[in-house]
Every structure is written in C-alpha cells, then in structure tokens.
A = this chain, B = another copy of it.
Amino acid sequence: MTTLSNLPIPASSTDLPPVERRPAIPAGFLAGGLAAGIKASGRPDLAVVLTTAGPAAAAAVFTPNAFAAAPVKLSKAHLAATSGDPRGGFGWAEAVISTSGSANAATGAAGDADQLAIGRMLAGATGVELERTLHLSTGIIGTRLPLDVVEAGLARLVPTLEATDAGLAAAAEALCTTDSVVKVATTTVELPDGDGRPVTVTVSGIAKGVGMIHPQMATMLSVVVTDAAADPATLWGLLRPAAARTWDQLSVDGDTSTNDTVFLLASGASGAAPVGAGTAAADALGGAVEAIARDLARQQAADGEGASTLITAVVTGARDDADARAVARAVISSSLIKAAAHGRDPNWGRIAGAAGNARVATVAVLEAAGLTATEAAARAGTPAVLDPAKLRIAIAGHLVFDGAQDGPVAFDRAAAREAMSAAEVVFALDLGLGTGSGEAFGCDLTEAYVIENSEYTT
C-alpha cells in the first residue's frame, strides 16, 4: 500500500531544533503571576515579566484587526517611541504585563486611558519608564478593567517575581483563560560569543489561546524570552517570518481576535555576541524562535475549544511556500473537514474541495481590490495553485487520491479510520507543481464547541 511516507514532509517541521514542553527562564529575566481578582473565578489573572539588567531588545507581532484592543495600541506606541520606527513592531522594553478577564477592546477612549493608567502603575511598581512597558490583555470585549484590583495585584506581585522556571510557569498560568493546559516550550541553541566560542542560549515561550477570536474568554497571546543578544530590528526580522510559518497558520475557528499579540524579548544576558541580520547566528536564533512558535501553535490548536484532535495539514510540491501555506490553511479551516476529523471519517472529497478553493479567495479579493479579472488571475498565479491531475492526498498515512491515476485510490478504509483516532491527524497534500512547502494547524469541530459558544453568558 502507498502511504504517507511517499509524500515528503516540509523542512519546517524537521529542520528546527528540538523543543521541550517546560518553562526555562533565560538569564536576565524575572517572572511571576497570581490571582489579583480580575476574574470572578479566583484563578490566576495577572502576570509580569521583568528584565533584570536594563532594557531588552523587543519585537512584536500584533493582530491586524481594526478593533485592536487598548493594550495592543499602547504597546505599539511604546515600541515606536523607544525605537523611533513608526511601525511599532520593535523597540526596547523592561516590563510586560498581562491581565486576564477583560480584553479592554472596543472600550473607546476610556479603555485607552485605563491601559495608560495600568502602564503608569506598572512603571511605578517596577521602576521602569512608562515607554518601556508592554501590555497584553484577554477576556470579554467591551468590559473595563478594574484598575484598583490591578494596582493592588501589582503591589503584591512585583516583589515576588523570580528568576526561576517556577516564576515563568506562574506567568504562563496567569496568561490562561479557558485553556485546559498551560502552554510552555523551551529550546536552546549555540551562538558564538565575542571571541567565537560557543555559548548556550535559551529561548523559552509561554502562550495562551483557545479560539483565534473568542471575546468571552480567549484570544491568542504569547511571550517568548531569550538571553540571546540582538538589536530590535534584527529580532523583528526573525520573529515575523517565524510567526508567518507558525501562528499565522493556526486556526481554531477562523477568526482573528482584537487582542492577539506575540512579544519576543532578548536580554543579551547569555554573553553571546549580538546576532547580526543575515548571519549564521541569525539563522540559528531564528530557527529556535520558530521552533518555539511552532510548538506553541500546535499546543494552541490541540487545546482549541471543544477540540479532541489536533489536525495538521502538510503541503508539499507547491509553486512556492505562500501557495503551500494557503492550501494548508484552507484545509484546516474547513468546517466540513473539521467535522469529518471529529467523526474519524477519511472523507478525501472534502479535502480536495477545500484545497481546490484556496486560489478562489485570492482571485476574488484581488478583483474586489480593483484589479481586472485578467490581472487578478495573473497575480494569483498561472498555472493555478492546484492542478487536480497532479494532486496527491494522504490521510493519516493512507494515500487516498492520486490525480495521475485518475483520482480516487483504493485504500483500507477501516485502517485509515483507525489511524484517524490518534491525538494528531495529518492531512498530507503534494501538489506536484514545484518545491514550495508549508503546514497549518487546527482542530476538529465538535458538539462541545457549539455548546460552549452558544451558551448565553454575556
């Protein structure tokens, strides 16, 4: 029988350094979290990460949602102020605060003022400049943060911050909302010091996220800390492509929240030399960051609301990586494929249909943006993203469709169904058109998702 082993796995899933699912605080950071009382449940809801030796280089990726929350807007402004770069993607930071329980989104000017007040509280409690504070928040959209509760919580939390793995674990826990597990990932990489001798650098990330948008309780947040050294713009140059290949390929319910934020902070405390853009050291550090981002994204997908199965789409043979990622995203975003995964149904027709649709959205958007049909088709690519006669599809290791063999392939349906009972199901597609590859991560669609999201709780 032809199996998945015939279909190559893209480099991004194998060339990255190995990751351990534990917190490991790099040199130069303190962290901690506690239950301040923002959440009625009494669960941890306030986290702080602080640098110990002055400002760390910082890079960020934020939600592009037009309803960007107050913490997103304030963090961007602070990064722009400390770097002088108006894009607000990188700069210098000494303290990160996360509040859970209220998103502080769609709260207008009052919400912006609240977040600024929290920045002042954080600056006061830690002794760092206001502009060197970064902000995360998650919870219900349209509700205000209880400033007195946050202030009292900060007064208790800041003196207890620790340069320990336990401190980072506490911060990870306080980041969570309805997450069923705390999400942490750590890797190390060797970088040269000033004399070219190898220094072990730690990259460790914490994250939360149950739905890509979930105004009730979720949204995706992450803080990645490292003791590597790099200037902010270089760090941003590493974070953005890593996020594009990992978090941008994550979907739980197809939406993008008002609060999604990733911060990457580099303290430089490892003694490694500053990483220059385009160097081998940058490749190594970028790979470590991507490994953390990829693993956290997989943890987030697996813990999607109501999810029982992690769905991974692996696409190879695309014209380029962007095409591969688009097809992978289309597959893991399809409600029908998600429902079929829940039912352990090797329904390859739904995968073919979703993949065949990946280019459709591109053309439609290009035409809506004012390009003519001909221009749009040219931009979207000729030949098309997908040629049914060249496509191969494997489900959980079973080849089910081969365009070169006129389509459907006889396969052991019972064995495929059994293989789909694993905690992770891989849909592999080889487009047969080029060398582009990519992957995407999602989860099955279950009755529990519907029940959880249709309850009247506002």
| Interface residues in chain A, defined as those with a beta carbon under 8 Å from any beta carbon in chain B | 64-68, 103, 105-111, 140-142, 211, 213-216, 253-258, 322, 326, 333-336, 339-340, 342-350, 352-366, 368-371, 379-380, 384-389, 401, 403, 406-408, 413, 417, 444-447, 449-451, 453-458
A403 in contact with B370 (CB, 8 Å) = no
B370 touches A379 (CB 8 A): yes
User: Which residue in chain B gives the minimum CB-CB distance to A360?
Assistant: B64
Nearest CB in chain B to that of A253: its residue: B335
Chain B residues near A345 (CB-CB < 8 A): 454-458
Q: Please, how many angstroms separate the alpha-carbon atoms of A68 and B366 in the complex?
A: 21
| A407 lies within 8 A of B343 (CB) | no
- CB neighbours (8 Å) of A355 from chain B are 66-67
In the complex, which of the residues B344, B366, B380, B458 contacts A456, with contact meaning CB atoms closer than 8 Å? B344
B142 and A349 form a contact (CB under 8 A):
yes
**Cα–Cα distance between A126 and B68 once the two chains are bound (Å):** 61
Name the B residues within 8 Å of A458 (CB-CB): 345-347, 349, 413
Beyond A106-B401, A335-B255, is A65–B342 a contact (Cβ under 8 Å)?
A: no
Is A357 a contact partner of B66 (Cβ separation < 8 A)?
Answer: yes
Known: A335-B255, A363-B64. A106 touches B455 (CB 8 A): no
CB nearest neighbor in B for A384: B66
Q: Decide yes or no: A255 and B342 within 8 Å by CB, A64-B363, A336-B211, A361-B365 being known contacts.
A: no
Residues of chain B within 8 A (CB-CB) of A358 are 66
- Residues of chain B contacted by A255 (CB below 8 angstroms): 334-336, 353-354, 357
**A336→B366 CA distance, assembly (Å):** 27
CB closest residue in chain B, given A333: B254
Output the least CB separation between A412 and chain B (Å). Answer: 13
Cβ contact within 8 Å between B362 and A368? yes
16 A-B Cβ contacts within 8 A?
A: A66-B384, A66-B387, A67-B386, A106-B407, A109-B406, A111-B407, A141-B349, A142-B401, A254-B335, A339-B449, A344-B456, A345-B457, A346-B458, A361-B361, A370-B379, A446-B454
Whole-angstrom CA separation of A406 from B451 in the bound complex: 32
- CB neighbours of A106 from chain B (8 A): 349, 352, 388, 401, 407-408
User: Closest residue of chain B to A111, judged by CB?
Assistant: B407
| Chain B residue nearest to A334 in the complex (CB) | B255
CB pair B352–A214 under 8 Å, yes or no, is no
Residues of B within 8 A of A356 (CB): 65-68, 258
Distance to closest chain B CB from A86 (angstroms): 13
Q: Is the CB of B109 within 8 A of A348?
A: no
Q: Which residue of B lies closest to A141 (CB)?
A: B349
**What distance in Å separates the Cβ of A262 from its nearest Cβ neighbour in chain B?**
16
**Across the two chains, which residue of chain B brings its CB closest to A259?**
B353
Assuming the contacts A66-B386, A254-B254, A365-B361, asked whether A446 and B456 have C-beta atoms less than 8 A apart, the reply is: no
Q: Which residues of chain B are within 8 angstroms of A340 by Cβ–Cβ distance?
A: 453-454
The residues of B that contact A353 with a CB separation of less than 8 Å are: 65, 67, 105, 141, 213, 215, 255-258
Q: Which residues of B contact A326 (CB under 8 A)?
A: 368
Q: Which residues of B contact A354 (CB under 8 A)?
A: 213, 255
In the complex formed, the residue of B with least CB distance to A218 is B336
Once A67-B353, A335-B254 are accepted as A-B contacts, the answer to whether A450 and B369 lie under 8 Å apart by CB is no
Nearest B residue (CB) for A373: B87
Residues from chain B with a CB closer than 8 A to the CB of A451 are 447
Task: Looking at the assembled complex, report how far the CB atom of A326 sits from the nearest CB atom of chain B, in whole angstroms.
Answer: 7
| Contact pick for A349, options B215, B350, B379, B456, CB 8 Å | B215
- Give CA–CA (A211, B349) in the complex, Å: 14
Q: How far is the CB of A105 from chain B (nearest CB, A)?
A: 7
Query: Out of B216, B346, B371, B406, which one reaches A110, CB within 8 Å?
Result: B406
| Given A446-B450, A454-B343, A408-B142 contact (CB < 8 Å) | yes
In the bound assembly, the distance between CA atoms of A345 and B214 in angstroms comes to 14
3 A-B pairs with the lowest CB-CB distances in the bound complex, closest first? A141-B349, A343-B454, A108-B406
Cβ contacts under 8 Å, A111 to chain B: 407
